[in-house]
Amino acid sequence: MLRSGFSNETVQQELSVRGLAEPLDAAAEKSLRETGATAALVDAIKSGAYAIAPADAQRAQDELAAQAARRAEAAEQARKFNTLYQDQLARARRAAPPATGPVSTILADQFKGDLVAWRNGGLVGLSRFDDEVIEKKKLIALYFSAHWCGPCRKFTPQLVEFYNRVAPQHPEFEIIFVSNDRSAGAMEAYMRDLKMPWPAIDFAKLPNKSALKKYAGEGIPCLVLLDASGKVISDSYVGKNFVGPEKVLTDLAATFAQPSAPGIAATR
């Protein structure tokens, strides 16, 4: 209480009501004096004037121990429940039927009519992006990012440089920006200022894209590489551990360097 700014008089009033369960040893006395306890307060505590009966002290300690045991039991039950839930979720995912329809359109259907891009050097703002272009892609990287995010603004120029260097030689590859910005204006400014050459989901359509949120990690920047069927190929997260979007660029570079390779091991 003294550390929190309460006066010696207030502390004495509290002690007279609540009592003191433990005797005042040398270390506790030193700590009291350092926090501003007066000699009168220290002498009163040392005299035993505020001491409670041993039986009452034991009951208080027993209650504290019981509370700690209940908290530990509750935490263990929560852990078991979460483990069971995660196990059930994993089984449900394994049992889910495979997606149907042409592989080339399963993921593209998620974006049909909802993509925009920055054109003409930023002179005309965002314009509609051609859906047919996306339908031809075999590798799509979702980029979860935002203008307000410092680490995102630091990584985005690296991603722009990578895209401008490799995309012309690999027409099967595309990046789609999934904005975490707080307004359409902020999203447009981010795309313009960082010169994003890839399309983005229209800000107004983002609330309808909950199906894409399963790919997002717990933080941004998050880059997730998918094949045309929506299968995760490479990720900024391994489980809940953030390994960074640079890992995805490394995996992509390795894949593009060996076009005959079977692919990248999935991280999820």
CA contacts within 13 A on the Cβ side of 262: 2
Cβ neighbours, 10 Å, residue 199: 25
End-to-end CA distance of the chain: 50
Query: Residue-wise pLDDT tens for the chain (268 aa)?
Result: 555 556 777 766 766 656 654 666 777 777 767 777 788 877 777 776 666 666 666 676 777 777 777 777 766 766 665 565 456 555 554 554 444 444 445 677 778 888 888 775 543 456 677 777 788 888 999 999 999 999 999 999 999 999 999 999 999 999 999 999 999 999 999 999 999 999 999 999 999 888 888 898 889 999 999 988 888 999 999 888 999 999 999 999 998 887 554 445 444 5
Contacts of 203 (CB under 8 A, 6+ apart): 179, 181, 183, 184, 187, 188
3-class state of residue 50 by DSSP: coil
Name 262's bridge partners: none
Domains of the chain listed by start with CATH number: 8-46 (no CATH), 103-257 (3.40.30.10)
Q: What is the pTM of this model?
A: 0.58
Please give the structure tokens belonging to residue 226. 């998918």
From 194, 206, 124, select the one nearest 163 (Cα to Cα): 194
Residues 52, 23 contacting (CB under 8 angstroms): no
